[in-house]
Structure 1
Amino acid sequence: MQRTLAVILVLAMGAYAAACLLLFLLQRSLIYYPPAAAAYPAPKTWVLEQPGATVKVSERPLAGPRALVYLGGNAEDVTASLPLLAQAFPDRAIYLLHYRGYTGSTGKPSEEALVLDALALYDRVAREHPDVAVIGRSLGTGVAVQLASQRPVSRLVLVTPFDSIAGLAQQQFPYFPVRWLLRDRYDSMQYAPRVSAPTLLLVAGQDEIIPAHSPKALLSHFPKGVARLHVIEGVGHNTISNSPDYVPSLQGAR
């Protein structure tokens, strides 16, 4: 009997270890969901040459000192956000980054690569526009916070933000040591204290993916007086931009 139990225990431990290994190997396919095609024809597109990848940028050109860099969600084709962004920011040139491996870009997405690409895009945009605002949505908030912690952005807007992917993943996989397995952590709480730009956290009141405590925890890590949190009620994680309050909320951070 004891031998049978020992065999069962060994098999169970082996299966658990195999599941942990599979989760480790497949984790980026669980984080990044590249869309199949562009959702909206941008007025202009160009390529940002980066080490190991060519990264597509969609642009709504506009002469002048002011610009906006937009960093989208993990399953978003960023051009889908262009009409609302153009409505909210008629006085800014708009630049939308297509992540590595997403529509029109080569390479493979990772936290390090996406942040490096965002920094490179900012540097390119800032040559022509000294006033650069940044919007990140969902996964893009993790990139945007790191960008704003390293560059002098004029405004920062975080749409459906989270404090850390590690915490969210642990809720999704409670029986696995996710915090040890994760390679891309997007620990925004670590970078928030270094942000000095006026920051808006725009939260969906019925967000079914990010629990309410997550953006509140992130808010607490910004320097005092830098960030504020605004909740749009009656919308979820993926429907927040459908709300009639979405564009006015963005315009409040213009």
Structure 2
Amino acid sequence: MKRITRIACAVLAAVVVAGCTYRINESNIVIARSAPPVDLSVLHAEFPGYRIEPAAITTPDGNRLQSLRFVREDAVATVLYFGGNGYTVARFAPRTLAVYRDLPVNVVLVDHRGYGGSSGTPTVETLMADAGLVHAQVRADPAFAGMPLLLHGHSLGSFMAGHVAAERPVDGVILESSVTTTEDWTAHLRSQQRWWVRALVWRVLPDEGLARMGNSRAVAALDEPALFVVGADDDITPARFTRELFDIAPLAEDRKRLLVVPGRGHQDATDTDAFREAMAAFVEHVVGAAPPTG
């Protein structure tokens, strides 16, 4: 969702028909990104504590999803990470691994369909289906057997994490910079426009492919521990959405936590000591809970 505010602003500013309803469509949200091949030598040098394993996941329609698995000997859990729009393993793996390098967890990264080294044309529907497939592959991998599996989703990736958590067995979920519903989020986009744009555009709505997306329903069905994270200065997916999701989650107070990081925006809430401390406590809680479902 990194570019959505700029895109929406430009499009809304061009509308000249009074009383218009403008619709945000999938092409505004899901934007395939190419990337150079992953340089494993750089990753090995920067993160010597991990065994780095390239992997490929084939989808039912014949596309190939590129994956990198970072495995460490002292791991007590595995984190399956779903990046936001624009996330590619080649570009952002070092940043993600820097967040987790001091925690005893394996990390699995995957390029979304059509992003980075993965083939195919992305849509919201195919991204959700692929997320379930990736989860199943990781859950069945002998390298991760016997330890909890945690899902971490950022922005667009938080939709994938929430979708999987609602339908499949997981042991914990981290939702970062998420939203309640796409309808709430598009209303926020309109509220950020200048007064004359709001006068012309009475409503901003998601199109049918995006309608009723978001994490409200998934969070309402959560029965695993959850960590909700957002930057206090996030202007793309404001902190109020994450606070609402935290309130919706029907979990005991010791099984959910809200972390609003001061001075951080949409992209950098986890690049902080506050998140690393919260995540360390979250991992400890999950590992100390009931044995992982399988």
What is residue 56 of structure 1 aligned with on the other side? 66
In the TM superposition, 1:73-152 aligns within 5 A as 73-78=84-89, 79-90=93-104, 92-127=105-140, 128=142, 129-130=145-146, 131-152=148-169
What is residue 287 of structure 2 aligned with on the other side? none
Indicate conservation of the 8 Å contact 1:40/1:80, yes or no: no
Q: Counterpart of 1:239 in structure 2: which amino acid?
A: D
Deviates more, 1:214-223 or 1:31-40: 31-40
1:180, 1:202 → 2: CA distance?
24
Deviates more, 1:202-211 or 1:36-45: 36-45
TM-score normalised to structure 2 length:
0.71
Q: Counterpart of 1:248 in structure 2: which amino acid?
A: E
Distance 1:155 1:169, change over 3 A: same
Q: 1:235 aligns with which of 264, 268, 279?
A: 264
What number of residue pairs does the alignment pair up?
Answer: 236
C-alpha deviation, 1:250, in angstroms: 2.0
Q: Which runs of 5+ in 1 are unaligned?
A: 1-10
Q: Give me the identity figure in percent.
A: 21
Distance 1:199 1:40, change over 3 A: farther
Distance 1:34 1:181, change over 3 A: closer
TM-score normalised to structure 1 length:
0.81
In the TM superposition, 1:1-254 aligns within 5 A as 12=17, 20=22, 23=23, 27-37=25-35, 41=40, 43-52=52-61, 53-62=63-72, 66-78=77-89, 79-90=93-104, 92-127=105-140, 128=142, 129-130=145-146, 131-173=148-190, 175=201, 177-179=203-205, 181-185=207-211, 186-225=213-252, 226-254=255-283
Q: Which runs of 5+ in 2 are unaligned?
A: 1-15, 44-51, 191-197, 284-294
Q: Counterpart of 1:159 in structure 2: which amino acid?
A: E
Distance 1:89 1:114, change over 3 A: farther
Larger radius of gyration: 1
C-alpha deviation, 1:121, in angstroms: 1.4
Distance 1:103 1:213, change over 3 A: same
2:202, 2:60 → 1: CA distance?
34
C-alpha deviation, 1:66, in angstroms: 3.1
C-alpha deviation, 1:232, in angstroms: 1.1
1:133, 1:146 → 2: CA distance?
13
Q: Counterpart of 1:76 in structure 2: which amino acid?
A: Y
Indicate conservation of the 8 Å contact 1:136/1:157, yes or no: yes
Greater RCO, 1 or 2 (C-alpha within 8 Å, sep 6+): 2
1:143, 1:176 → 2: CA distance?
30
Distance 1:33 1:224, change over 3 A: same
2:131, 2:178 → 1: CA distance?
17
